[in-house]
Structure 1
Amino acid sequence: MNLPNKLTVARVVLVPFFIFFLLTDIVPLSSLWALVVFALASITDALDGHIARSRNLVTNFGKFLDPLADKVLVISALVCFVDMGLAGAVPVIIIIAREFMVSGLRLVTAGEGVVVAAGIWGKLKTAFTMVAIVVILLFAVIFGKDSSSYEMWVTAVEQTLIWISTALTVISGAIYLNGYKSYINTDK
């Protein structure tokens, strides 16, 4: 297994540790540990793609697992945020629905021998969402995990970040659907 694929696998392996630290209170500084683990996992996302492309180490395994690892990491954070009262269910459901839609589209096009590569809007959506999650985790470190103790402005910033992520998610999903609509022609 090459280095980019090892980094991608590491991102998946870090997810349970991230969830544990985010949802537990038995570990001192658990919010800080959750932030550190999420940040490390996010950095592997930037590194694995850069290394794979610059060293010509792109593999089918990496093409498959990299977007899946991103989805598992981001969706895990967002679902935990809903559980903690840090995000609403509606934007998170929209984000998850888009991820299922794009994954389904990738399956359909793969059957035709076509790989749906991540476009600029998908990359922007992922990058912004990961940064938004880091900011929300930083607020949890500073103000505590209990959203009821937050200042009103913190909640407003968090909700704004989540809704911007949702808007980018919808835009990128629409672009993917439009770009590959010939593969989902319902008349065939």
Structure 2
Amino acid sequence: MNTPNKLTMLRILLIPVFVLFMLGGDFIPYNYVGAIVVFIAASLTDLFDGRIARKRDIVTNFGKFLDPLADKSLVISAFICLQAFGLVNPVVVIILVMREFLVTSLRLIAVGDGKVIAADIFGKVKTVIQMFSIIALLLMLCLIQVMDMTFLASSLTTAASVLSWLCAAAAVVSGANYLIKNRHCIDAKS
């Protein structure tokens, strides 16, 4: 259990804490502040685990398996929580989940053939858009809650709609790119 894998495990352990803050509004004062702090901390573990693993040359199969699972779980959990508040259209969440199933399935098929499908620029851009969108929406929720900026409520709804559909578009483009580049993995002749 090296440092990058410990950071990945920490990210997984932070997901239920994040969800608790997001959904615990009646029981946890300033729950959105806690949610954004936990989300940013979890996101930073993603940034550091990869850098450390590559720098120290300690990339493991355990890390290759668990890291993407932790990333997807964190992002999907955030979008499901935001959808529960009516800030994200359920169709967006379905698109995001379907994209993750598609890419994960392609990767599993490729692994069976002894190949690795690495993240490409489209996948990385999609991730950046998702992280930025989640943090921006959480920040707006914090401002409304902590500073009683209720006038931001209509802006939050608009921002949530624009950002979530932007995330959906990035997911579709990224998913289509993975599918086109790796269609040989699911060729009917195979």
Answer yes or no: same fold by TM over 0.5: yes
Superposed CA deviations along residues 45-70 of structure 1, whole A, max 9, x for unmatched, are 11111111111111111111111100
Query: Offset of 1:152 from its aligned partner?
Result: 2.4
User: Is 1:141 paired with 2:142?
Assistant: yes
Alpha-carbon deviation of 1:151?
A: 3.3
Counterpart pick for 2:160 among 128, 134, 158: 158
Following TM superposition, by how much is the alpha carbon of 1:183 offset from its aligned partner in structure 2, in angstroms? 0.8
Aligned to 1:172: 174
1:185 aligns with 2:187: yes
Deviation at 1:6, TM superposition (A): 0.7
Q: How far off is 1:149 after superposition?
A: 7.6
The reply on whether 1:118 has 2:119 as its aligned counterpart is yes
Task: Say yes or no: does 1:53 pair with 2:74.
Answer: no
Opposite residue 38 of structure 2, the aligned amino acid is V
Deviations 1:131-156 (A, max 9, x none): 110111111111149xx985322211
Residue 151 of structure 1 aligns to a residue whose secondary structure is helix
Paired-residue identity, %: 46
> Which AA in structure 1 matches 2:54?
R
- Report deviation, 1:110: 0.8
Q: What TM-score comes out, normalization by structure 1 length?
A: 0.94
| Count of matched residue pairs | 186
**Partner Cα separation in structure 1 for residue 162 and residue 106 of structure 2:** 29
1:6 is aligned to 6
Cα distance in structure 1, aligned partners of 2:152 and 2:101:
32
TM-score after normalising by structure 2:
0.93
Give me the whole-angstrom Cα distance separating, in 2, the residues matched to 1:125 and 1:46: 15
In the TM superposition, 1:72-83 aligns within 5 A as 72-83=73-84
Structure 1 stretches of 4+ with a deviation exceeding 4 A read none
The aligned amino acid for 2:29 is: P
Please list every run of 5 or more consecutive structure 2 residues that lacks an aligned counterpart in the other structure. none
What are the ranges of 5 or more consecutive residues in structure 1 without an aligned counterpart? none
Cα distance between partner residues in 1 of 2:151 and 2:111: 48
**Pairwise CA RMSD of aligned residues?**
1.6
Q: Distance in 2 between matches of 1:149 and 1:16?
A: 30
Q: What's the counterpart of residue 98 of structure 1?
A: 99
Structure 1 residue 92, shift from structure 2 partner: 1.1
Deviations 1:155-182 (A, max 9, x none): 1112111111111111111111111100
The alpha-carbon distance between structure 1 residues 35 and 162, as it changes in their structure 2 partners (threshold 3 A), is: same
**8 A contact 2:30–2:145 mirrored in 1:** no
Distance 1:150 1:85, change over 3 A: farther
